[in-house]
């Protein structure tokens, strides 16, 4: 048997006669059991350049009797090979002669060589395929005109060739998605559930699957750390940042635990590089830096007084007692605000009166208000945070050549996917809505190849909005990209 695809052909449509419309009753049809032995199907696609050819060989099995009577589906059991190598099995039930198609079929293929599909990959993904194998386990059910399907796809050692300039290639960051999904053994393991209505004239199973794959790539690129967390068994944890105490650059236990989770996931994905950028919060961090500057001035004032009295200088970080601190605040207030401010009003008789001294709390507020925080100080704090993360990473097994420091900044930077995220957002916004008709592509699930001890299987990459990221700039934010 030979099948050839030369160009898209519009599907034929027919409307079965309905009861009571005066037409003759549908004939009763029965077909005996079908046996397959030493079968072969040859397929050639002339629509793609260069042409693609494939063969189903060594086909054998059977389909039990088919009948148009309701409730009598045929059993299917077929085995064979794809191109004489990859084993293929199809089993289940099918009822094609019923008033409405009904089927429940399972299929499995193992080790299909992907290099033969390089022409499709170049045309639609923008890259040829250098090597790789595909294994799949699928189940398709149709009941009352509705399709429900699950597709578990395992790609082994998928490696792209050079980028191809194809006008039909997706703008989505396919190479980035592959790098994130591929584990340390070179395995990509994903679930692609799809569904749709066969009554929709625009229905196309190929379009549904393509939409599911596209949705998965968009989610990977726009929320990579949600996917990375799911692969690491930490789907509820936002791994895109670690947070610091105001004014601080030391990692706490929560930050170290989050880093370990993220680094373990990255260790399993050698195709990814990590970028880290330190941030500082002008308000929260600035307030702490102001308070420290005030304490430094109070200690300097105390040290100056001790030196004038011929007494030894105190320890640099020696705490100030409450009474001592209040006295120093008053002294600093008189020096910096009163003495440098407007002269005190003259008292009766022409003498200058001593200005009133406000409460200590008001003195401190006024002194803090006069202290400025230079941007350089905030940038230095942000850089210290990034260096703390880098030093922590240096103590792990992650290759330091995969870690890159990005210039620190004041304030937040929304989005952690870098160029891949920007490309995915642009491509997803440009994609036509409803490209697959009424067919839907539910959320794909990325599965870890070999969960470590205590690691849960990855959860679903949900349809919800990407992780919102930090609500403060007291962080080091991360981004990931393919590692070359």
| Residues 365-404 pLDDT 10s | 999 999 999 999 999 999 999 999 999 999 999 999 999 9
Which whole number is the average pLDDT over 317-326? 86
Q: How much is the pLDDT for 348?
A: 55
**Cα dist from 31 to 176, 238, 243, 377, 455, whole Å:** 51, 58, 69, 84, 51
Which whole number is the average pLDDT over 72-101? 92
Note whether 40 and 55 are within 8 A (CB).
Answer: yes
What's the pLDDT tens digit per position in 241-250?
A: 999 999 999 9
Least confident stretch, 62-76, 128-142, 352-366? 352-366
- The Cα–Cα gap between 107 and 11 comes to 25
Whether residue 5 has pLDDT greater than 70:
no
Q: How much is the pLDDT for 113?
A: 94
SS3 helix, strand, coil % of the chain, rounded to 5? 30, 30, 40
What's the pLDDT tens digit per position in 436-471?
A: 444 444 445 555 444 333 333 333 333 333 345 788
**Average predicted confidence (pLDDT) for the chain:** 82
Burial of 27 (0-12, 13-18, 19+ CB in 10 A): exposed
What's the pLDDT tens digit per position in 30-54?
A: 899 999 999 999 989 888 888 888 8
Which whole number is the average pLDDT over 3-20? 47
Q: How much is the pLDDT for 442?
A: 47
- Name residues whose C-beta falls within 8 Å of residue 175's C-beta, 6 or more positions apart in sequence: 127, 160, 482
Q: How much is the pLDDT for 455?
A: 33
Q: How much is the pLDDT for 297?
A: 92
Least confident stretch, 58-72, 234-248, 334-348, 449-463? 449-463
SS3 203: coil
Structure tokens at 301: 């004032």
- The Cα–Cα gap between 259 and 241 comes to 9
């Amino acid at each position: 048997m030979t099948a050839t695809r030369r160009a898209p052909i519009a599907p034929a449509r027919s409307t079965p006669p309905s009861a009571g419309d005066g037409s003759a009753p549908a004939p009763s049809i029965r077909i005996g059991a079908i046996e397959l032995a030493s079968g072969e199907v040859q397929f050639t696609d002339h629509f793609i350049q260069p042409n693609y050819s494939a063969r189903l060989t060594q086909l054998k099995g059977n389909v039990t009797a088919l009948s148009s009577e309701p409730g009598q589906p045929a059993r299917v059991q077929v085995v064979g090979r794809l191109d004489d190598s990859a084993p293929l099995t199809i089993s289940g039930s099918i009822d094609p002669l019923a008033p409405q198609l009904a089927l429940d079929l399972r299929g499995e293929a193992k080790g299909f060589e992907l290099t033969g599909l390089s022409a499709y990959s170049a045309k639609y993904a923008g890259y040829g395929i250098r090597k790789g194998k595909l294994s799949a386990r699928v189940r398709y059910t149709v009941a009352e005109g509705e399709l429900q399907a699950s597709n578990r796809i395992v790609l082994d050692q998928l490696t792209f060739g050079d980028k191809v300039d194809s006008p039909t290639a997706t703008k989505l960051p396919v190479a980035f998605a592959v790098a994130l999904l591929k584990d340390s053994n070179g395995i990509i393991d994903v679930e692609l559930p799809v569904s749709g209505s066969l009554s929709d004239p625009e229905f196309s199973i190929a379009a549904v699957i393509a939409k599911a794959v596209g949705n998965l790539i968009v989610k990977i690129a726009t929320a990579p750390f949600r996917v990375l967390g799911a692969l690491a068994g930490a789907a509820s944890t936002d791994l895109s940042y670690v947070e610091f105490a105001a004014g601080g650059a030391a990692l706490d236990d929560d930050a170290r635990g989050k880093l370990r989770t993220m680094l373990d996931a990255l260790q399993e994905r050698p195709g990814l590089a990590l970028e880290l950028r330190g941030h500082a919060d002008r308000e929260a961090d600035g307030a702490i830096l102001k308070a420290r500057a005030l304490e430094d001035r109070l200690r300097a004032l105390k040290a100056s007084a001790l030196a004038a009295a011929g007494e030894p200088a105190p320890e640099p970080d020696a705490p100030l007692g409450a009474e001592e601190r209040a006295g120093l605040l008053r002294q600093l207030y008189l020096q910096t605000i009163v003495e440098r401010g407007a002269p005190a009003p003259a008292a009766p008789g022409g003498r200058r009166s001593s200005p009133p001294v406000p409460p200590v709390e008001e003195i401190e507020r006024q002194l803090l208000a006069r202290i400025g925080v230079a941007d350089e100080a905030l940038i230095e704090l942000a850089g210290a945070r990034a260096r703390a993360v880098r030093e922590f990473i240096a103590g792990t097994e992650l290759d330091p050549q995969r870690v890159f420091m990005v210039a620190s900044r004041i304030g937040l930077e929304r989005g952690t996917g870098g160029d891949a995220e920007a490309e995915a957002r642009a491509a997803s916004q440009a994609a036509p809505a409803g490209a697959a008709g009424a067919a839907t592509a539910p959320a794909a699930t990325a599965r870890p190849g070999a969960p470590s001890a205590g690691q849960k299987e990855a959860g679903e990459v949900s349809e919800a909005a990407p992780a919102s990221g930090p609500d403060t700039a007291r962080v080091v934010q991360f981004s990931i990209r393919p590692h070359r």
